Amino acid sequence: MNLEIPSEDGVACIIVEIDGSMIPTVTTEASQDEAQPIDRRKTRKIGWQEARLGLSRLPEDTQPIFAATFGSTDEAGAQLLGSAVRAGIGEKTYVHGVGDGALWIASQIDQHFGRPGRYLIDFYHLCEYLSGASSVCAPNDTAAWLTQQKKRLRRNHYQAVLRALQPFLEDDTQQGNDAPVRAAYRYLDNRSHQLDYKGAIDNDLPIGSGEIESAHRYVIQQRLKRSGSWWTVQKAWDMLALRVLQENQDWLAYWDNLSLNVA
């Protein structure tokens, strides 16, 4: 897919989100000798493959346009651009992207959409880091401390949050769960250019990626992640494509077109 943003002005603003979830897959080894068939159940190998789902919508719309793939992050980014083209993106469209801290998400949105626009780290994902740090920074009143930091972030005062964390930074010898303040500090400091929550709130745009997380449940996982089910990679691809067709309200058009081609 070699799409580009159309040269016309396009709609004023588009919201884009993308995320991944793991789908159970299975492979079996076929017999090399037809005269000696093998029990393929005994050669079964189970694994997981990431399905990446993206959406694009206008701020005033409630129905997003979806795109999905089991392919690479580059393919996922190209698919997301395709959904944005369908939603009406143009050269002057402001692109508002939201996602978690996965580096590939921010990279793909920057690569395919660039400017004008912003990419925000999911506010609630960031607050999980602050919640972990709160028991160290304010053990006697974690709720009040966390509320204060959230207010600061919503006003773009992230440096005040860093200052609140600074006195409680753990020694470098402490790792993982033993260093929640350092983890929160680094997460915030490394993403300071992705924290314009005030700008989003002032323009009535989302600061969380809950929409794409919810979409994973009803677009992909509801069908592809049923208890006890495992998929061959090809069948998973096929089902994923059908699920997207259905959610994009392209179901009847697809089958009508298929019938014409067969005829």
Q: Which of 80, 85, 88 is nearest to 61 (CA)?
A: 88
pTM: 0.88
**What are the structural domain ranges in the chain?**
13-31+40-122+208-255, 124-197
Q: Which of 53, 20, 29, 28 is nearest to 230 (CA)?
A: 28
One pLDDT digit (tens) per residue for the chain, 263 residues: 568 899 999 999 999 999 999 999 998 776 566 666 666 666 778 899 999 999 999 999 999 999 999 999 999 999 999 999 999 999 999 999 999 989 999 999 999 998 778 999 999 999 999 999 999 999 999 999 999 999 999 999 999 999 999 999 998 888 777 899 999 999 999 999 999 999 999 999 999 999 999 999 999 999 999 988 889 989 999 999 999 999 999 988 877 776 566 55
Beta strands in 76-135 (DSSP E): 94-99, 117-121
Under DSSP, the state recorded for 217 is I
Write phi, then psi, for 40 (nearest 5 degrees).
Answer: -65, -15
Residue type, 248: N
* Cross-strand pairs, 119: 97
Tokens, residue 112: 């395919």
CATH of the structural domain 13-31+40-122+208-255, one choice from 3.30.310, 1.10.10, 3.40.190, 3.30.420: 3.30.420
